[in-house]
Amino acid sequence: MKEHKNFDKNKFIKKNKYKIVVYSLVVVAVVILGITLVKRNFTNNDIQSASNSSYENVDKNNGKKDDNIKPNEAGDIMVVMYHSINQKSNHYQWHRSKSEFLADLEYMYKHDYVLISMKEYLSNDIDIPRGKTPILLTFDDGLKSTFAIIKNKMGRYVLNPDSLVGILEEFKREHPDFGSGGVLYVTSNPFKNDAFHNTKTEGSYYDKFKYLDSLGYEIGNHTYHHYDLATLSSSSIKEEAGKVNEMVSDSYNGYQVKYFAYPYGNIPSDEKIKVIKKGKYKDILYKHESAVLAGPRSPYFTNPITKDFNAYKIPRTIASSGANQDMYWYFKYYEKHKSERYVSDGDRTKLSISAKMKNEINKKKTEGFNVEYVE
Ligand SMILES: [Zn+2]
């Protein structure tokens, strides 16, 4: 009996070999799909509740939320200027020690700031949770303590955790809702030298630019020799700007630098700024969509959709504390004057703008958005 049964079973398996294989594969696929969906649901819910605790307060009747958040997406956005690491206790104000940098990030995170890119800043196409304020970090001079990669045991490039970008990426890993983005403005020899901190670095320009790009950072132009542009002729400015564009493009798949930072924050005449906006060097076209200053200047922080915004004179604040109009000065200012800062409505397609600002808006910049003026 037993043998007979076994015989039948083997025969059945033989006869239906292909069917069994196909059925088994289908069952395995369905199980995997099910697990993936359940897992994804959990992750989505986790992210949603972590980043937007007011989600459940939506009043379904009119879409308004009773969370006491007053969105204003024409409010001020801070642009911060960093350089590199200096561990001396009494260092220049334009550098940060590692612990100071980490404390800066913690302050921003705790006070509802979320990182964005220059692209997002200029377009106001900012996808951050309701109630959050965007902030744009920039890093000048292309020093190796700002960004460095090293080979790990497997021979793969990884971030040097000792660099500013290494510290920032570790912080982002621990705080996944902190956003991402930032501009690194380079000169000749990007990320090769550093007078203030001896950070270990490896890899070619290609490896470095590719790494930064893959992390969502933007590579900007800080001129080739870091001369004071206010003292240069138009053709020299063209060369200073074009050479950086050429170097980055040649070393990294034709990458075009789109954003400019004036060395020392010194701006040339408006006539010469035209050469920075666009030009041709060695038959290669370059074009910059924005240019940043080295400090705050009237009209101070604003928003790219307001009429007083000038994309080629974007003020920045120095990442330090204790000085007039430095980063912590502005942090305190915006805690006191919360209505002046950008506060997101959490809806990417809609711009919720304070009704008080109606006459200050550059209507061209709000095209493509659903604009709502709110009280
Ligand atoms: Zn500089």
In a domain, 366, yes or no: no
Q: How far is the CA of 362 from the centre of ligand 1 (A)?
A: 31
Q: How far is the CA of 319 from the centre of ligand 1 (A)?
A: 14
Q: How far is the CA of 253 from the centre of ligand 1 (A)?
A: 25
Q: Which domain holds residue 293?
A: 78-343
Q: How far is the CA of 140 from the centre of ligand 1 (A)?
A: 5
Q: How far is the CA of 232 from the centre of ligand 1 (A)?
A: 16
Q: How far apart are CA 319 and CA 92, in angstroms?
A: 11
Same domain, 37 and 83: no
Cα Rg of the chain, angstroms? 26
Query: What pLDDT is stored for residue 122 in this prediction?
Result: 98
Q: Which of 155, 185, 319, 312 is nearest to 248 (CA)?
A: 185
Same domain, 89 and 33: no
Q: How far is the CA of 306 from the centre of ligand 1 (A)?
A: 28
Q: How far is the CA of 101 from the centre of ligand 1 (A)?
A: 19
- Give the chain's domain count: 2
Structure tokens at 128: 């951050």
Query: What pLDDT is stored for residue 67 in this prediction?
Result: 83
In a domain, 354, yes or no: no
Same domain, 9 and 102: no
Same domain, 252 and 149: yes
In a domain, 51, yes or no: no
Q: How far is the CA of 204 from the centre of ligand 1 (A)?
A: 22
Pair type for strands 284-287 and 278-281: antiparallel
Q: How far is the CA of 11 from the centre of ligand 1 (A)?
A: 80
- Cis, peptide link before residue 299, omega less than 30° from 0: yes
Q: How far is the CA of 230 from the centre of ligand 1 (A)?
A: 14
Contact 217, 115 (CB under 8 A): no
In a domain, 325, yes or no: yes
Query: What pLDDT is stored for residue 319 in this prediction?
Result: 98
Same domain, 39 and 84: no
Q: How far apart are CA 107 and CA 276, in angstroms?
A: 35
Q: How far apart are CA 356 and CA 336, in angstroms?
A: 18
Q: Please give the DSSP secondary-structure letter assigned to residue 255.
A: P
Same domain, 26 and 129: no
Contact 222, 185 (CB under 8 A): yes
Q: How far is the CA of 344 from the centre of ligand 1 (A)?
A: 32
Query: What pLDDT is stored for residue 299 in this prediction?
Result: 87
Same domain, 145 and 13: no
Q: How far is the CA of 43 from the centre of ligand 1 (A)?
A: 42
Q: How far is the CA of 295 from the centre of ligand 1 (A)?
A: 12
In a domain, 10, yes or no: yes
In a domain, 29, yes or no: yes
Same domain, 31 and 131: no
Q: Which CATH number belongs to the domain containing residue 335 in this structure?
A: 3.20.20.370
Same domain, 32 and 94: no
Q: How many whole angstroms from its chain centre is CA 241?
A: 23
Same domain, 174 and 248: yes
Q: How far apart are CA 303 and CA 316, in angstroms?
A: 13
In a domain, 298, yes or no: yes
Same domain, 85 and 12: no
Q: How far is the CA of 214 from the centre of ligand 1 (A)?
A: 24
In a domain, 338, yes or no: yes
| Tens of each residue's pLDDT in the chain, 375 residues | 444 444 455 554 555 666 655 566 555 555 555 555 444 443 443 333 333 334 444 444 445 566 889 999 999 999 999 999 999 988 899 999 999 999 999 999 999 999 999 999 999 999 999 999 999 999 999 999 999 999 999 999 999 999 999 999 999 999 999 999 999 999 999 999 998 999 999 999 999 999 999 999 999 999 999 999 999 999 999 999 999 999 999 999 999 999 999 999 999 999 999 999 999 999 899 999 999 999 999 989 999 999 999 999 999 999 999 999 999 999 999 999 999 999 999 999 999 999 999 999 999 999 999 999 998
Q: How far is the CA of 141 from the centre of ligand 1 (A)?
A: 5
Q: How far is the CA of 94 from the centre of ligand 1 (A)?
A: 10
Q: How far apart are CA 20 and CA 78, in angstroms?
A: 63
Same domain, 239 and 152: yes
